[in-house]
């Protein structure tokens, strides 16, 4: 494995960042998780757009042009002979002192890892996901805007801790007002009739890249789309439900809080969306090898 750090490539054993890096000390930085399907980078432009947008909001200057950053990522994929991979592209505030002040960090750190990620076994996709509502609430978007894909994921980690020893696959965050928001690592969708519903980003849900692709695919087959404010009542009474995420892709939800969703099996519309998503992922994307 070859890992890119600030213009150089290192083995996994030799790849290191400073203990004084504010990405480590304070979670001060941004990242993207990106997929490579068959030598094609999935939704490259939206991912890079989001990375730079997140960095701009936290006044983090990425020390590479967009073209340089993309080439660094592509070269990392090529050096790892990547064909079907998960890519983690990270920009931290960089090395500073033990104080919080970001102005003490003269230059950001950029690194890129290409590897594998498996969040859920294949059989979960076949039988469907079991989900539980979390007692931990999603961070208020007035505190940290959810559109910033930052390195501080402690809210998600705290939610994940609630899943230990429980026979479920994911946890569902509610807002402090009780509205359905998102899961610990995935966006959530509901289906009612011909309507595809997903929580509004205003609630604190990350506007995911896979989420956006699924919404376009659904619109393409005539489904009505709605971003709104939903409660657990809406989830329990949905005809179907599913999760989306870069790593998870599209996963059917068949149960929430021991209540079956619809018939309690992956629904026909969800299965059609999954098929369309896999076809889209396989046949689109930016080539790694030219």
Residue 154 neighbours by CB under 8 Å, 6+ apart: 27
pLDDT digits (tens, 9 = 90+) for 213-255: 999 999 999 999 999 999 999 999 999 999 999 999 999 999 9
∠ CA 183-184-188 to the nearest 5 degrees? 20
Minimal CA–CA distance to 190: which of 265, 128, 270, 127?
270
pLDDT digits (tens, 9 = 90+) for 45-92: 999 999 999 999 999 999 999 999 999 999 999 999 878 899 999 999
Q: Note the pLDDT of residue 147.
A: 84
Mean pLDDT of the chain: 96
pTM, two decimals, is 0.94
Q: Note the pLDDT of residue 144.
A: 86
Could you list the active site residues? 149
User: Which class does domain 122-283 fall in?
Assistant: alpha beta
CA 200 to chain centre: 16
User: Which class does domain 2-115 fall in?
Assistant: alpha beta
Same fold, 2-115 and 122-283: no
Domain residue ranges in the chain:
2-115, 122-283
pLDDT digits (tens, 9 = 90+) for 29-38: 999 999 999 9
């Amino acid at each position: 494995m070859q890992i890119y750090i600030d213009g150089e490539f290192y083995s996994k054993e030799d790849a290191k960042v400073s203990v004084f890096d504010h990405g480590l000390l304070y979670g001060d930085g941004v990242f993207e998780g990106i997929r490579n399907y068959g030598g094609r980078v999935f939704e490259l432009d939206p991912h890079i757009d989001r990375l730079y947008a997140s960095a701009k909001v936290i006044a983090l200057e990425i020390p590479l042009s967009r073209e340089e950053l993309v080439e660094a990522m592509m070269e990392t994929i090529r050096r790892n002979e990547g064909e079907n991979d998960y890519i983690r592209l990270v920009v931290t505030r960089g090395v500073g002192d033990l104080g919080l002040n970001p102005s003490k960090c003269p230059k950001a750190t950029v690194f890129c890892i290409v590897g594998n990620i498996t969040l859920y076994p294949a059989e979960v996709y076949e039988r469907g996901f079991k989900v539980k509502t979390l007692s931990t609430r999603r961070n208020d978007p007035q505190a940290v805007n959810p559109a910033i894909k930052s390195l501080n994921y402690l809210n998600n980690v705290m939610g994940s801790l609630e899943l230990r020893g429980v026979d479920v696959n994911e946890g569902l965050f509610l807002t402090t007002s009780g509205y359905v928001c998102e899961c610990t690592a995935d966006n959530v969708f509901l289906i009612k009739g011909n309507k595809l519903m997903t929580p509004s980003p205003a609630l604190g849900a990350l506007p995911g890249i896979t989420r956006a692709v699924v919404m376009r695919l659904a619109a393409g087959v005539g489904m009505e789309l709605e971003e709104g404010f939903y409660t657990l009542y809406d989830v329990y009474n949905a005809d179907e439900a599913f999760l989306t995420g870069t790593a998870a892709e599209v996963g059917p939800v068949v149960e929430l809080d021991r209540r079956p969703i619809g018939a309690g099996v992956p629904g026909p519309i969800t299965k059609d969306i999954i098929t369309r998503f896999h076809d889209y992922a396989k046949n689109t994307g930016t080539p790694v090898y030219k």
